[in-house]
Amino acid sequence: MPNRLAEATSPYLLQHAGNPVDWYPWGEEAFAEARRRQVPVLLSVGYSACHWCHVMAHESFEDPATAQMMNAGFVNIKVDREERPDVDAVYMEATQAMTGQGGWPMTVFLTPDGAPFYCGTYFPREHFQRLLTGVSRAWSQEHEGVLEQGRRVVEALSGPRSVGRGNAPGPEVLDEAVELLAREYDDANGGFGGAPKFPPSMLLSFLLAQHARTGSQRSRAMAEHTAEAMARGGIYDQLGGGFARYSVDSRWIVPHFEKMLYDNALLLRAYTRLWRTTGDPLARRVALETADWMVSDLRTPEGGFASALDADTEGEEGRYYVWTPAELRSALGDEDAAWAAELFGVTREGTFEHGFSVLRLPEDPDDPGRYERVRAALLGARAKRVRPDRDDKVVAAWNGLAVAGLAEAGALFERPDLVAHAEAAADLLARVHVRGDRLLRTSRDGRAGQSAGVLEDYADVAEGLLALHAVTGGPERVALAGRLLDTVLEHFGDEEGGFYDTADDSEALFNRPQDPTDASTPSGRFAAAGALLWYAGLTGSARHRRAADEALAVAVPLARKAPRAAGWGLAVAETLLAGPLEIAVVGPADDPATRELHRTALLEAPLGTAITRGDGGSAEVPLLEDRPLVGGAPAAYVCQGFSCRLPVTTPAALSEQLADARR
């Protein structure tokens, strides 16, 4: 039976287009059909790189007998959580409330009005078939009770989530957050908490910013130790670069092998900033390898970046990445294989499953030349394996994060090719995803999807545009960021200083999602606060700065109870506390003196400084207005609240002003 997913832009939905299940995409057509047939809706939510989503698909959705049960008793909806994060958010909240846990695939049974009455995640085929039978029986024999259950769930989860108006965390709250983080810190292995252990990219930015303000060696040490432990562990691809989604153990040895754009974009920025703070050559190497992996493996022909690489190949999780001693010998010969096995931690017993080992690099090699030769040979051998599938849809928010990371890394490491890739991705977003002052969340093959952008899309794209402007100049980037942020203020606000995750004219679900906490990406609220603050620094807009301050109010209770859920907000609060500074570099872009001043600003200004470069004022970038050359020479103006110190014309003088501003 053909289903209705063949025209989807989501690769995840297209994976299910040939199922015997009569799938519908999310939309009114499916719910109207459920009302017509008077049957429940079965909602299945997942994403293309999800291992257990594939397992449930093979076991149940490709099975004719299971599909017949689904089609006979339900209207079946398949959702890509990356394409519809709003749908995922509201039903995941219901799943967690009803079961105490969540995850994907998410399996939710709904009334024809969208109220959830039974929730779960992965079900093996036999269990799933029994569940289908039980839900159908309950629907027919206990109909009013099922409807009442749905009403109770909706009532319990509905309503505003605002914490009320307030202001950003002050220094005492930020320092208290570090104290709490230190208690949860894994002194032996780096990172926070136990297994599974996720890369804390947003906390790294906070800890580095807190170190810059206070000089705290503990904050710096936690950031450095965690970054090194991850970079030397199996969560990092020691051959090809880039990070996996998380480690299943507390020592960063065995990853969950899917590789996501958002993780790598955030970690690229974190390692770049770590190098900027410490000069650590390992941080520099990992940042550049991650950037190069993003370009080689995720860049699309249209200039954007694909969402993810799958965890599975040939039906096995991680098969593309893991090695046995015999495979090393086949690729390298006996002598180099023995050396590589010791270097990378490949054992006869294996560190993963079935005698396979995940490559790690606990120590730097004693023979760099041999290391590069061995690494190249292993990469060549790995290239002959079946490659993981790629989810090639372009997500606006994650591409915004990639633009920011590539722009900063390209500028600081003097890699203009990376800046060019950031510009191409920004151009794709502007050309395909932007509709006036509104954003569409996804595209594929240069064709925009239908899903409206959510708060994180507007915030992260604006952040990326502003980061790119700091590196390249160009007032059009600032102008577009301003339009997107104005949409945030006009359509996402909750009238108490916070933001909803969806616009006021987006599709209404049973609850309007509003989650201020960081998850795998910065919360939309904290990302918006950062972009609003940056934009205010370039334009002098009191409205945008005030909105940033108020949006950070929720970080105060989080800092005191759960700082791991507020890393991005705490980092933005550090920026706010530091001034923030504004720097205008004026002069011809091709003048070496302009470039030296600009590079000094990028290297030495406090994190979060609003930096602009140009050879004259513009309406979009008021920070450049009335900032002339000095004696015909390029100059830099260090400002705070648009009140500027005397201009300087040498990198040494700019360094002195920046050092004085940090005191």
Is residue 503 one of the residues assigned to a domain? yes
27 and 101 together in one domain: yes
Q: Which of 531, 642, 532, 659 is nearest to 584 (CA)?
A: 642
Contacts of 256 (CB under 8 A, 6+ apart): 51, 196, 244, 245, 246, 247, 248, 311, 317
188 and 61 together in one domain: no
Average pLDDT over residues 268-293: 98
Cβ-contact 502, 513 below 8 angstroms: yes
359 and 459 together in one domain: no
90 and 141 together in one domain: yes
Is residue 5 one of the residues assigned to a domain? no
Cβ-contact 143, 475 below 8 angstroms: no
Place of tokens 């009334």: 111
Is residue 166 one of the residues assigned to a domain? no
Rg (CA), the chain: 26
Q: Kindly report the CA angle at 185 between 322 and 604, in degrees rounded to 5? A: 90
C-alpha dihedral (337, 339, 340, 343), degrees to nearest 10? 160
Q: Which of 385, 400, 433 is the last residue of a domain?
A: 385
Helix H segments across 188-314? 201-214, 217-232, 261-278, 281-293
Calpha distance 358→345 (Å, rounded): 8
26 and 99 together in one domain: yes
Per-residue pLDDT tens over the stretch 450-498: 999 999 999 999 999 999 999 999 899 999 999 999 999 999 999 999 9
209 and 306 together in one domain: yes
Is residue 1 one of the residues assigned to a domain? no
66 and 99 together in one domain: yes
pLDDT score recorded for residue 656: 96
- Residue 635 reports pLDDT greater than 80: yes
- Residue 388 reports pLDDT greater than 90: yes
Average pLDDT over residues 244-263: 96
Q: To which H or E segment does residue 56 belong?
A: helix 51-56
Q: What is the mean pLDDT of the chain?
A: 95
Q: To which H or E segment does residue 536 belong?
A: helix 524-539
Confidence band, pLDDT 50/70/90 cuts, at residue 661: confident
Is residue 2 one of the residues assigned to a domain? no
Is residue 3 one of the residues assigned to a domain? no
- Residue 1 reports pLDDT greater than 60: no
In this structure, what CATH number is given to the domain that contains residue 76? 3.40.30.10
Q: Which of 291, 173, 172 is nearest to 243 (CA)?
A: 291
Q: Which of 385, 404, 424 is the last residue of a domain?
A: 385
Range of the domain at 220: 172-310+391-577
Confidence band, pLDDT 50/70/90 cuts, at residue 620: confident
The tokens describing 335, both together, are 């002598």
Q: Is 520 left (phi over 0), alpha (psi -120 to 50) or beta?
A: alpha
pLDDT score recorded for residue 662: 79
Above pLDDT 90, what percent of the chain? 92
343 and 272 together in one domain: no
Confidence band, pLDDT 50/70/90 cuts, at residue 164: low
Is residue 85 one of the residues assigned to a domain? yes
Number of domains in the chain: 4
150 and 43 together in one domain: yes
Is residue 262 one of the residues assigned to a domain? yes
201 and 260 together in one domain: yes
296 and 342 together in one domain: no
Q: Which of 577, 598, 631 is the last residue of a domain?
A: 577
- Residue 163 reports pLDDT greater than 70: no
The tokens describing 436, both together, are 């006036």
pLDDT score recorded for residue 7: 87
128 and 23 together in one domain: yes
Collapsing DSSP states into helix, strand and coil, what is residue 372? helix
Q: Which of 143-157, 201-215, 318-332 has the lowest mean pLDDT?
A: 143-157
Per-residue pLDDT tens over the stretch 91-144: 999 999 999 999 999 999 999 999 999 999 999 999 999 999 999 999 999 999
Average pLDDT over residues 42-64: 95
pLDDT score recorded for residue 344: 98
In this structure, what CATH number is given to the domain that contains residue 195? 1.50.10.10
